[in-house]
Amino acid sequence: MRSRSFKPVRLACPLLAGVAVALGGCLTPFDLAANAGLGVAQAGTSSFIQGTLTAAFDKPMETVAEASRLALVRLGYEITHEDSATYFMQIQGDQSDGSDIVVKLRQSSPTVTGLSIRVGLWGDNAVSRLILAEIEKQMAAATPGANKPGRTDSYDEDRLAAGEAAR
pLDDT tens digits, 115-140: 999 999 999 999 999 999 999 999 99
In this predicted structure, what is the pLDDT of residue 16? Answer: 57
Asked if residue 20 belongs to a domain, the reply is no
Report if residue 104 sits inside a domain. yes
List the CATH number of the domain containing 87. Answer: 3.30.310.80
Q: Which domain holds residue 58?
A: 27-141
Is 52 a domain residue? yes
Tell me the per-residue pLDDT of 56-92, one tens digit each, with 9 for 90 and over: 999 999 999 999 999 999 999 999 999 999 999 999 9
* pTM score: 0.62
Domain count, the chain: 1
What are 12-49's pLDDT values in tens digits? 556 556 555 555 544 444 444 444 444 444 445 789 99
Listed as own residue / partner, the contacts of 30-37 with beta carbons closer than 8 Å and 24 or more positions apart are 30/54, 30/104, 30/106, 30/114, 30/116, 33/114, 33/115, 33/116, 34/106, 34/108, 34/113, 34/114, 35/108, 35/114, 36/114, 37/108, 37/109, 37/112
Is the residue at 99 inside a domain? yes
Residue 164 lies in a domain: no
Q: What residues have CB less than 8 Å from 27, skipping those under 6 apart?
A: none
153 lies in a domain?
no
Q: State the Cα–Cα distance between residues 56 and 81, nearest whole angstrom.
A: 22
Q: Are 64 and 57 in contact (CB under 8 A)?
A: yes
Q: Is the separation of the CB atoms in 112 and 119 below 8 Å?
A: no
Query: Is 3 contained in some domain?
Result: no
Residue 69 lies in a domain: yes
